[in-house]
A and B are shown apart, each in its own frame.
Chain A
Amino acid sequence: MFDYTFQWRQAIRALPQMLDGALVTMQIAVLSMAIGVTIAVFLAVARNSSSRWLRAPATAWVEVARNTPALFQIYMAHFGLGSFGIYLSPYIALLAGIAFNNAGYLCETFRGALRAIPATQIRAGRSLGMGPAKAFRLIVMPQMFRISFLPTMNQAVWAILMTSLGVTVGMNSDLTGVTQDLNARTFRTFEFFAMAAVIYYLIAKAVMLGARLIAWRMFRY
């Protein structure tokens, strides 16, 4: 039954190609996080707004992003919009899908962080003569930053892993896409995907370790 002979040489020879793919993966993850964080801030503000017209779409975004499969979100960006004649390239569709997902999750992370800070902190700032914006910037924001930093980095890891879904919309330049191509040419499925898995693992670990280090340096209180 177990007469499979491992052949790692081909996989190792393809390593530079796979690392190039990993760079594309990282690029998409970083961009999707930058876009996701930006949109999440607006979503969080909208969800806390008193206007129903701001609250409703933001809530809908968060609900869909968090309660439907990420794969569908990427599918929708590529094939779904394609049905209406809006054609996004696999790269852009993947980026849009992941950014959409990131924004939904991060919005709730930021909202949670805001709620964790007692109103009395603002009150203390106001009583020292600060305006509301200044009190928010100097007292609330730094505390929110600490509370949401590690959850945000968790989402970054999740974003890196989600990029692998791009292969389903024809993405072939990221780590999974490259691996899939190599697999199709050589049928060394186990070797190539095992190598890819190790690369994903190392990237994810490095991001989390880096985040812990930064948090340890930055948040001394």
Chain B
Amino acid sequence: MIEIENVHKSFGALKVLKGIDLTVAKGEVVSVIGGSGSGKSTLLTCINGLEPIDSGRILVDGTEVHAKSTDLNKLRRKIGIVFQQFNAFPHLTVLENVTLAPRKVKGMSKSDAEEIAVKHLNHVGLGDKLKVYPSRLSGGQQQRMAIARALAMSPDYMLFDEVTSALDPQLVGEVLDTLKLLADEGMTMICVTHEMGFARDVSNRVAFFDQGVMAEIGPPEQIFGDAKNEATRKFLSSVR
């Protein structure tokens, strides 16, 4: 379970998160929508401790992420994150990209790591690209590789930060299909997204962020059909 309690976060004078409360249960898929600069992406990087927070707390399975005593390297093994920029490691093949962390962080043997990597790469449809370098892959393929790379650490939670925003329109579908597959398998996911169709079809709950505040959260039918908040309605009408 991920518990976010009254989290505040600023970059200098700019307040990015102004008291966020959100609990995500095991197996749940929560989509986070909202305009640019609403703090959605920042929240994700706070959850896995890549960014410090000013106040409040975030608990992952009861472990406080920003406590001094928390071993973040260990905690991050169970929280996978995929970014908008694919961040493929260009000097490694697709297979090596995916086996790197299992081998060097978890200490797995090469053959064990490769077995897991091949499984996940097949899963995301890259089983025939094992020996290829990322520069030879399309954006969609690189992003699917990044998803497999995160999954190879067998995380309990997956965070997706606008994973289709840097893709050509015709490549968005293949990545969203991969996310749907994961959701169907019961992965706990928080997806920051601009894909309203995806948010509506796949999520258990949709949260709308507006200027650092979670203005509204609810089941997709309610958010997309009968939003209570004025800002939510305005945002949804502008993206449709």
Contact = CB atoms under 8 A, between A and B. Distances in A.
A172 B237 CA distance: 84
Contacts of A85: none
Contacts of B181: none
Nearest to B102: A128
Given A120-B85, A121-B89, A129-B153, A221 B133 contact: yes
A129 B89 contact: no
Interface range on chain B (Cβ under 8 Å from partner): 20 to 34
Interface string B134-161: 1100000000001001100100000000
Nearest to A146: B91
Interface residues of A, number: 21
B90 A124 contact: no
Interface stretch (A5-13, A48-56, A137-145): A137-145
A127 B100 CA distance: 13
A128 B153 contact: yes
A143 B90 CA distance: 8
A131 interface: yes
B149 A128 contact: yes
Contacts of B104: 130, 134, 138
B100 A138 contact: yes
B96 to A, nearest CB: 10
Nearest to A142: B91
Interface stretch (B30-38, B61-69, B72-80, B190-198): B72-80
A185 interface: no
Contacts of A188: none
B108 interface: no
A127 B81 CA distance: 7
30 contacts: A118-B85, A120-B85, A120-B87, A121-B87, A121-B89, A123-B50, A124-B83, A124-B87, A127-B48, A127-B50, A127-B81, A128-B77, A128-B100, A128-B101, A128-B149, A129-B73, A129-B77, A129-B101, A129-B105, A129-B106, A129-B153, A130-B73, A130-B101, A130-B104, A131-B73, A138-B100, A138-B104, A139-B89, A219-B91, A221-B90
Which 4 interchain pairs have the tightest Cβ spacing?
Answer: A124-B87, A128-B101, A221-B133, A129-B105
